[in-house]
């Protein structure tokens, strides 16, 4: 949390703009609008120009008021654009502010943007400043940051699934849950970890990158901070790096200005081009994510059915060792389970395929026409990654699959023909 030396803005002022602005539509309609409408209009209150599409502002600095009586430190209210007033782009800038307005509306909590998902995770750990972080597998980059923190201040990394480790947690420590998990796409029970965090006086933070809106609402579980790699679904087109922290609404009045102050000093802000791209991408978030998750489900169901048909009956059964996805967890079949409650709108567009051998997994991507062999996920184009390329700890038979917006039958046929070609070549 911000130390006493940092010149924190008066609590409330920044939050007021962030909360009231995006809320203005709900006030006008007397009800919350649909996610689809908010994706397109949540930032309208910022727009003071006739242009329908947002302008791209590259300025790093903004003229102060010409009236000397109006000069106040870190305050530069433009009377013509009260919600679009800025001082210096390491603090705030027009394009990123609009992106944050939409994020705030879609995530249901005041949100700040960062240069990348890892910049957001780093900012979160610096801010909460725990002595211990309990974290399971998940994205290896977050472990990398904890490793750096260990070198800097002795931060201890604990295993989320180890009772002896969990017993070491103390007040002020962090339980960090990634759900669904990278790279398997399997989900974790947020209510369970909230209870544990409450019992131990810990903060609960969630990396929800794999289940953006409308798939999951982590604040229903009183999560303290939700982070996303916005590079993935919020960006959605494999062309921008960004991260986001959304702050539990009842904590935001105090935490949001402090986090913003710390971001000003850490310097991990998004660039304006990325902010512009983020706004553009957010407009179609719901359309993309629903479609991607539905297509992934159809593919996973197809693969699981073929695999279940038996050892040698078809090319899938001959080649696939294991399929991992939240929909394959036993709780997915029980409509009263924590999993169905936590992910009522689909289990996400990423799953993992383990092939029978490392050789098969290494070679399949080069046999595919539609899936690009590349790391990352969340874009409109389907990706497949032999995960050993970027994660040295993962099983070498594992392929991570991220489904895009192509027709799912085409993706199915691509996978089948790829496996058949591998077989023809003796793999
Ligand atoms: C679950 C998860 N969290 C965080 C990150 C880091 O995000 P970024 O690459 O935007 O820094 C990633 C990146 O793949 C991720 O998959």
150 and 235 within one domain: yes
Q: At which residue do the structure tokens 């947020």 appear?
A: 190
Mark 68-94 as b/e (b = at least 16 C-beta within 10 Å): eeeeeeeebeeeeeebbbbbebebbbb
What residues contact residue 1 under an 8 Å CB cut-off, 6+ apart?
A: 127, 128, 129, 255, 258
Residue 207 beta carbon below 6 angstroms from any ligand 1 atom: yes
Distance 88 CA to ligand 1 centre (A): 27
Q: What is the pLDDT of residues 182-201, one digit of tens each?
A: 999 999 999 999 999 999 99
Last residue of a domain, one of 252, 283, 314: 283
Q: What is the average per-residue pLDDT within 53-62? A: 96
Q: Write out the residue range of the structural domain in which residue 207 sits.
A: 13-283
- According to the model, what pLDDT value does residue 21 have? 75
Number of structural domains in the chain: 2
Structure tokens at 253: 């009045």
Q: What is the average per-residue pLDDT within 163-176? A: 97
Confidence of residue 19 (pLDDT cuts 50, 70, 90): low
Please say whether the beta carbons of 169 and 200 come within 8 A. yes
Q: Is residue 7 part of a domain?
A: no
Confidence of residue 2 (pLDDT cuts 50, 70, 90): very low
Confidence of residue 82 (pLDDT cuts 50, 70, 90): confident
Residue 298 belongs to domain with CATH number: 3.90.1150.10
Distance from C-alpha of 405 to C-alpha of 340, rounded to nearest angstrom: 24
124, 143, 182, 188, best to mutate for ligand 1 pocket (most atoms within 8 Å of CB)? 182
Last residue of a domain, one of 283, 305, 322: 283
214 and 149 within one domain: yes
Residue 268 beta carbon below 6 angstroms from any ligand 1 atom: no
Whole-number average pLDDT of the chain: 94
310 and 271 within one domain: no
Q: Is residue 219 part of a domain?
A: yes
Please check the confidence at residue 9 and state whether its pLDDT lies above 60.
Answer: no
Residue 95 beta carbon below 6 angstroms from any ligand 1 atom: no
346 and 225 within one domain: no
Please check the confidence at residue 175 and state whether its pLDDT lies above 60.
Answer: yes
Q: Is residue 6 part of a domain?
A: no
Distance 52 CA to ligand 1 centre (A): 32
Give how far Cα 207 sits from Cα of 188, 295, 383, Å: 11, 23, 21
Closest alpha carbon to 142 in 116, 169, 107: 116
Residue 145 beta carbon below 6 angstroms from any ligand 1 atom: no
Q: What is the pLDDT of residues 328-382, one digit of tens each?
A: 999 999 999 999 999 999 999 999 999 999 999 999 999 999 999 999 999 999 9
Distance 145 CA to ligand 1 centre (A): 12
Q: Which helix (H) or strand (E) holds 118?
A: helix 117-128
Please check the confidence at residue 14 and state whether its pLDDT lies above 60.
Answer: no
Q: Is residue 2 part of a domain?
A: no
Structure tokens at 80: 């013509």
Residue 272 beta carbon below 6 angstroms from any ligand 1 atom: no
Which residue's C-alpha comes closest to atom 10 of ligand 1?
117
Q: Is residue 348 part of a domain?
A: yes
Distance 203 CA to ligand 1 centre (A): 21
- According to the model, what pLDDT value does residue 5 have? 52
- According to the model, what pLDDT value does residue 90 have? 97
Bridging pattern class, strands 132-135 and 174-178: parallel
Residue 139 beta carbon below 6 angstroms from any ligand 1 atom: yes
Confidence of residue 272 (pLDDT cuts 50, 70, 90): very high
Q: What is the average per-residue pLDDT within 144-169? A: 97
Q: What is the average per-residue pLDDT within 60-80? A: 93
125, 135, 141, best to mutate for ligand 1 pocket (most atoms within 8 Å of CB)? 141
Distance 55 CA to ligand 1 centre (A): 28
Residue 141 beta carbon below 6 angstroms from any ligand 1 atom: yes
198 and 81 within one domain: yes
Q: What is the pLDDT of residues 25-43, one digit of tens each?
A: 888 899 999 999 999 999 9
Q: Is residue 54 part of a domain?
A: yes
135 and 46 within one domain: yes
Which residue's C-alpha comes closest to atom 9 of ligand 1?
117
Distance 387 CA to ligand 1 centre (A): 14
184, 232, 378, 402, best to mutate for ligand 1 pocket (most atoms within 8 Å of CB)? 232
269 and 120 within one domain: yes
- Greater confidence (13 vs 275) lies with 275
Q: What is the average per-residue pLDDT within 271-282? A: 98
Q: Is residue 4 part of a domain?
A: no
279 and 150 within one domain: yes
379 and 397 within one domain: yes
195 and 247 within one domain: yes
Please say whether the beta carbons of 223 and 94 come within 8 A. no
Residues of the chain above pLDDT 70, percent: 95
Task: Tell if the pTM clears 0.85, that is, is over it.
Answer: yes
Confidence of residue 48 (pLDDT cuts 50, 70, 90): confident
Residue 182 beta carbon below 6 angstroms from any ligand 1 atom: yes
What residues contact residue 156 under an 8 Å CB cut-off, 6+ apart?
A: 131, 132, 133, 150, 168
Residue 270 belongs to domain with CATH number: 3.40.640.10
Last residue of a domain, one of 283, 308, 330: 283
Distance 377 CA to ligand 1 centre (A): 9
Q: Which residues pair with 157 in a beta bridge?
A: 133
Q: What is the pLDDT of residues 83-137, one digit of tens each?
A: 999 999 999 999 999 999 999 999 999 999 999 999 999 999 999 999 999 999 9
276 and 309 within one domain: no
Distance 351 CA to ligand 1 centre (A): 16
Confidence of residue 7 (pLDDT cuts 50, 70, 90): very low
243 and 133 within one domain: yes
Which residue's C-alpha comes closest to atom 14 of ligand 1?
376
Residues of the chain above pLDDT 90, percent: 89
Distance from C-alpha of 391 to C-alpha of 86, rounded to nearest angstrom: 40
Q: Is residue 8 part of a domain?
A: no
Please check the confidence at residue 3 and state whether its pLDDT lies above 50.
Answer: no
């Amino acid at each position: 949390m911000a130390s006493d030396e940092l010149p924190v803005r008066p609590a409330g002022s920044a939050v007021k703009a962030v909360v009231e602005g995006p809320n203005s539509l709900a006030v006008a309609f007397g009800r919350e609008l649909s996610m689809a409408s908010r994706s397109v209009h949540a930032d309208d209150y910022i727009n003071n120009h006739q242009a329908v599409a947002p302008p791209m502002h590259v300025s790093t600095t903004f003229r102060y008021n010409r009236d000397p009586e109006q000069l106040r430190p870190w305050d530069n209210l433009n009377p013509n654009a009260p919600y679009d007033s800025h001082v210096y782009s390491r603090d705030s800038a027009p394009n990123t502010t609009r992106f944050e307005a939409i994020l705030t509306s879609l995530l249901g909590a005041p949100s700040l943007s960062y240069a990348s998902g890892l910049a957001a995770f780093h900012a979160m750990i610096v801010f909460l400043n725990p002595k211990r972080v309990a974290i399971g597998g998940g994205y290896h980059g977050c472990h990398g940051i904890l490793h750096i923190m260990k070198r800097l201040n002795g931060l201890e990394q604990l295993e989320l699934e180890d009772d002896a480790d969990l017993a070491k947690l103390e007040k002020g420590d962090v339980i960090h849950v990634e759900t669904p998990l990278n790279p398997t796409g399997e989900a974790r029970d947020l209510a369970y970890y909230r209870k544990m965090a409450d019992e131990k006086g810990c903060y609960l933070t969630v990396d929800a990158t794999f289940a953006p809106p409308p798939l999951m609402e982590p604040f229903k579980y009183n999560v303290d901070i939700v982070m996303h790699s916005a590079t993935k679904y919020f960006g959605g087109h494999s062309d921008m790096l960004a991260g986001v922290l959304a702050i539990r609404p009842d904590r935001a009045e105090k935490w949001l200005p402090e986090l913003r102050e710390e971001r000003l000093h850490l310097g991990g802000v998004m660039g304006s081009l990325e902010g512009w791209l983020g706004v553009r991408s957010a407009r179609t978030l719901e359309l993309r994510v629903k479609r991607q998750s539905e297509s992934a489900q159809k593919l996973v169901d197809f693969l699981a059915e073929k695999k279940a048909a038996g050892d040698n009956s078809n090319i899938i059964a001959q080649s696939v060792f294991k399929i991992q996805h939240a929909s394959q967890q036993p709780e997915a079949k029980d409509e009263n389970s924590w999993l169905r409650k936590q992910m009522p709108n689909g289990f996400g567009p990423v799953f993992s395929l383990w092939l029978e051998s490392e050789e098969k997994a290494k070679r399949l991507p080069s046999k595919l026409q539609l899936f690009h062999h590349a790391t990352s996920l969340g874009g409109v184009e389907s990706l497949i990654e032999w995960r050993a390329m970027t994660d040295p700890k993962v099983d070498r038979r594992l392929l991570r699959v991220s489904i895009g917006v192509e027709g799912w039958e085409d993706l199915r046929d691509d996978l089948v023909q790829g496996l058949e070609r591998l077989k023809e070549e003796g793999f």
